[in-house]
Amino acid sequence: MTAALLVATALMGLAGTAAGAIAPVRFRIALSSALTIAACALGFVVGAEVLHSGHAAVVHTTTLMPLASFSLALDRFGALFVVITAVVGICAMIFRFGYDGQGLASRTASSILPLFVTSLLLVPAASNVTTFLFLWELMAITSLLLVLTDHARRSEVQVAGQWYAVMTQLGAAALILGLVLLATRSGSQSFAVIAVRSAHLPAWVRSTAFVLAVVGFGSKAGAVPLHVWLPRAHPEAPGPVSALMSAAMVNLGVYGIVRVGMGLLSGGPAWWWLLVMGLGALSAMFGSLHSATSKDLKRLLAYSTTDNVGLMLLGVGASGLFADTGHRALALLALVAALLHVVFHAVFKGSLFLSASSVHQAAGSTDLDQLGGLLRRMPVSGPIFLVGGLAIAALPPFCGFVSEWLLLQSMLHGLPSGDVAIAVAMPIGVGVLALTGGLTAFTFTKAIGIGLLGLPRTQDAERAGEVGRPMWIGAGLLAVLCLVFGVAPFLVIPSVVDAAGAVPGLHLAGALTRGWNVALPGVPGMLAPGLVAIGLVGFGGLVALGRHLVQQRPVRLTEAWGCGRELQTARMEYTATSFGEPLTRVFEDVLSPARDVDVSHLAESRYYTEAAVIHTTIDDAFERRVYRPADRMLVRWGAVARRVPNGSVHRYLAFGLVALIVVLVVLA
Amino acid sequence: MSGSSYFSVLTLAAGTVLVCAVAILWLASIRAVISMVAVQGASLGLVAVVLGVHLHDAGLLAAAAVVVVVKAVVIPVLLGRASGSDSGSRESRPLVNVPASLVASAALIVLAFVTGRGVAHFVGTRAGALVPIGIATMLIGFFVLVARRRPTFQIVGLLMVDNGIALTAFLCTAGFPFLIELGVSFDVLLGVVVLMVLSQRLRLEFGDVDLDELQELHD
Amino acid sequence: MDAGSCNGCEIEIASIFSPTYDAERFGIRLEASPRHCDGLLVTGPVTRNMAAPLRKTFDAVPQPRVVVAVGDCARDCGVFRGAYGVEGAVSDVVPVDLEIPGCPPDPAAIVRALRGLAGT
């Protein structure tokens, strides 16, 4: 039955594509979004059923693709990701009903968006190499086209699209190499067969395949140093698309690493997992630093995705390391922590991106220095954004707190074990987690304080109003989930534990919840998020009650002391740049901000300044130091290579003759 | 025809093809080259006739007739007519000078024999031992294409490539079926006609010119 | 609060907190925010620009509050009477409880006056 539902999901998604392509403009958005919601709902049902029952949903057909079979087998691990995508997809599509973005109403975008969502839903179900690569490429290409929807109106979109296309194809090339290597060496395409035979492959094959998979999946997940497309593509993509990309697509990078590293290759030597942990730590620190000093809201959120992906990779690497040294309970714990962070990240990041899009629509810009005072003007979307920010800063009673606590616990409890690699890696992991936690809190204080609070900095911000109901419903549903999961994580954790235990190759089992609390198996440590929430609310109530009882004088309402100044304008407020300036100064070596002062003098005398303008730019260090030089080198080689075919017929014929001779020599 | 004399005649004919190929490399005058092309075509026809008589294959004999007619008569006549109006009928500055071309042709023949050994073993018949000659002719024809400047010589190179392929096919498989040979020959004929028309046009447009000087037409 | 003075009175006020006069031993302290204070020391004639800030500062001092006008300018505009930028004496803007004459007043005189206020 689940197999039939899986097929139905795919068909519904294709129906959405068709609707988007064919329907007249009045019904286009509504019809394609409704069909996509239906597809996501079906996907949710399949995923939930598989998670609950443990039986995989298998679909196998040889007629769809020449020379290969199209094969889907959704096990519990994949089902978790399908459920995540389904939930985010439903909320994003609800959001889309009210989204006024110009690009998304076109025929192209309306037909490609359902296709993108369908491919996101089906990738975790792929069970042989051809199907996986086909669906992966479908996902990559559809997301590229969606990023480019606005390209006719803004030129930055084209540049962003180019970066995204190149990085995605580089990653896909690495993936294809790695998976095909595994498949040819194992003699079969099917994941199940590869998983069995991979243990007998020579070590260099396994390691090469793993490294290629990390490169390929890491670039999709947005791990440093392959992350440069993220902060460029997300701000340019329309709202629902960037929410889907950040909350559903990057998860598949983590899915891939676990599936290949633990599922197909059944774990490996410690250096694999140290590599993953290293990439994770680097991503976490780099991402959090850049998001803390970024002044564009969507770019800030994109770097924050890199940060969170780093945390997920820290968990995955820790899990692999523990499994390799034999600490099974800890390995399960770390993997569950990483997967839980995947789930919760999808929820709060999806909400944040949708809220950012609402802000863009209401106030005309996502530049924090042009916002302000929005909490008052957007009485529903503002608090939703606030909830998302609190969740990502890992504050109780929201969900981020639970997953980061779990990550921390899994790494801390690894310390007593004797292994050298663990003893070195875990404290570094804990330190990185602490640093990024602090920086994230800083970042979202900035985002909320400067974007939502205070006085509006521009006319557009002043004129902002609440957005349409579908938009805040979409973002709000995810925000509500943030709160619900934060107080009652026991709703989600057993499924995540089942999913982690189902990673073939790692035979883990255990229970992580005891009633309403989160309890760690085999190690001392327990968290009662429900009690924490009750405690917070109770404490707040006690304080309010106390003040009320102690209050004797009548309350006088007056303006806040402002040193007696009469005028309070938005020009006197903090800007995002100034808020982040201390951090920029401390981390100047990493960020390398570029400062440009432009002074123009009066015509009459050089001693009088007419205007002085300062430009500060912080661009991505990897982009500047690695990618741009590589790009320049490729252009130089290309120029050299262009001179070789110079139009001479004889030269071309000579090429042919030489090629023929080489072939003959090789054959001889 | 008895076995040994059949093989000697076959070897003679195939050898003549190769000798014509090398001679084309050596000769500069276009009239001489066209005569060599005719001789090469005739030798190829002779190979087909000998094989046909030995194997009692009527189709092969018919193919031989086609070959002789097209390659030894029609094409050289066409080429002759085209270059009759050609004022500078010598290849004055070949891209690779004559001694070097001859050395290169020797190297190509060696290469052909080295690679053709495998094929000869595979084919197995005595005729199969001569397959490397076909491959050598083809390589030399390609070399003429590369190393000669004037369009007419390049047409000759193309013809030689086709001759080499046909020779290899005859020796390997006791010939193509008649229809295929017919088709191939007429294709070659058509190709030659088209090339000649084009080179006429080029000559009218740009004068008698080296193809390399037409570089600026590329992008 | 400096409502427009030449800073002469401020120097004298600053010196009452120096070791020579040490007003803190009488329980008199200088605070940065009027919300933490019991009284306001105002110097200088009130200029037009400073009139509203003076009213805001006065409102910010929680009751019961006192206002002390320090120096001749605060009492009756001193040498700046009738100047184009001057609004008036301090008593024209906020109610004054104590006046300390002098241009500038002697630190000892300031301390004596404030001790009278504080009752020490």
State the DSSP string of A147-162.
Answer: HGGGTTT-HHHHHHHH
* Res. A223: pLDDT tops 60: yes
Minimal CA separation from A564 to chain C, in Å? 5
CA distance A576 to A295: 6
Minimal CA separation from A165 to chain B, in Å? 27
* Res. A584: pLDDT tops 80: yes
Q: At A385, is the pLDDT very low, low, confident or very high (cuts 50, 70, 90)?
A: very high
* Res. B126: pLDDT tops 70: yes
Average per-residue pLDDT in chain A?
87
Phi, psi of A159 (to 5 degrees): -60, -45
Instruction: Sort out which chain A residues have CB atoms less than 8 A from B108's CB and list them.
Output: 661
Minimal CA separation from B154 to chain A, in Å? 10
Residue B14 inside a domain? The answer is yes
DSSP C106: P
Instruction: Sort out which chain B residues have CB atoms less than 8 A from A647's CB and list them.
Output: 214-218
% chain A with pLDDT above 90: 38
Q: What is the pLDDT of residue A356?
A: 93
Residue B193 inside a domain? The answer is yes
Angle between the N-to-C axes of helices A2-22 and A25-53, in degrees from 0 to 180, rounded to the nearest 10 = 170
Q: What is the pLDDT of residue A523?
A: 61
pLDDT in tens, B28-65: 788 888 889 999 999 988 888 888 888 777 777 777 78
Instruction: Sort out which chain A residues have CB atoms less than 8 A from C53's CB and list them.
Output: 564-566
Out of C34, C35, C53, closest to residue A566 by CB? C53
State the DSSP string of A242-265.
Answer: HHHIIIIIHHHHHHHHHIIIIIIS
Q: Between these two residues, A121 and B58, which has the higher pLDDT value?
A: A121
Residues of chain A with a CB closer than 8 angstroms to some CB in chain C: 558, 561, 564-566
Instruction: Sort out which chain A residues have CB atoms less than 8 A from B214's CB and list them.
Output: 647, 649
Comparing alpha-carbon positions, the chain A residue that sits nearest to B213 is A648
Q: Are A240 and A93 in contact (CB under 8 A)?
A: yes
Half-sphere exposure of A569 (CA within 13 A, CB side): 4
Minimal CA separation from B141 to chain A, in Å? 10
Residue B89 inside a domain? The answer is no
Comparing alpha-carbon positions, the chain A residue that sits nearest to C57 is A564
Comparing alpha-carbon positions, the chain A residue that sits nearest to C2 is A564
* Res. B87: pLDDT tops 50: no
Q: In this complex, is the C-beta atom of C53 within 8 Å of any C-beta atom belonging to chain A?
A: yes
Minimal CA separation from B56 to chain A, in Å? 34
Residue B21 inside a domain? The answer is yes
pLDDT in tens, A60-86: 877 766 667 888 888 889 999 999 999
Q: Do B218 and A656 touch (CB under 8 A)?
A: no
Q: What is the pLDDT of residue B70?
A: 80
Q: Do A660 and B215 touch (CB under 8 A)?
A: no
CA angle B32, B33, B38 (to 5 degrees): 95
Residue A139 to residues A121, A289, A505, B146, Cα–Cα distance (Å): 10, 29, 27, 47
pLDDT in tens, A534-559: 788 888 889 888 888 887 777 778 88
Structure-block tokens of residue C8: 């002469």
The yes-or-no reply on C/B contact (3 CB pairs or more, < 8 Å) is no
Q: Which helix (H) or strand (E) holds A62?
A: strand A57-65
* Mean local confidence (pLDDT), C1-10: 93
Domain count, chain B: 1
Q: Which of B115, B135, B209 to mutate to test the interface with A (most CBs of A within 10 A)?
A: B115
Average per-residue pLDDT in chain B?
80
Minimal CA separation from A45 to chain B, in Å? 57
CA angle A478, A287, A289 (to 5 degrees): 115
Residue type, A164: Y
Residue B61 lies in domain: 3-84+94-217
Minimal CA separation from A639 to chain B, in Å? 14
Q: What is the pLDDT of residue C110?
A: 94
Instruction: Sort out which chain A residues have CB atoms less than 8 A from C60's CB and list them.
Output: 558, 561, 564
Out of A647, A653, A668, closest to residue B145 by CB? A653
CA distance A666 to C105: 108
Q: Are A489 and A517 in contact (CB under 8 A)?
A: no
CA distance A518 to A492: 11
CB within 8 Å of chain B, chain A residues 609-648: 645-648
* Res. A664: pLDDT tops 90: no
Q: Do A561 and C53 touch (CB under 8 A)?
A: no
Q: Which of A563, A565, A567 to mutate to test the interface with C (most CBs of C within 10 A)?
A: A563
Residue type, B114: V
Contacts of residue A113, Cβ cutoff 8 Å, sequence gap at least 6: A16, A20, A32, A36, A96, A104, A142, A146, A240, A241
Q: Which of C31, C59, C65 to mutate to test the interface with A (most CBs of A within 10 A)?
A: C59
Q: Which of C42, C56, C65, C93 to mutate to test the interface with A (most CBs of A within 10 A)?
A: C56
What beta strand segments (E) does A192-254 contain?
none
Q: Using a cut of 0.80, tell me whether the model's pTM lies above it.
A: no
Q: At A524, is the pLDDT very low, low, confident or very high (cuts 50, 70, 90)?
A: low
Q: What is the CATH number of domain C8-118?
A: 3.40.50.12280
Instruction: Sort out which chain C residues have CB atoms less than 8 A from A565's CB and list them.
Output: 53
Integer-rounded Cα radius of gyration of chain A: 26
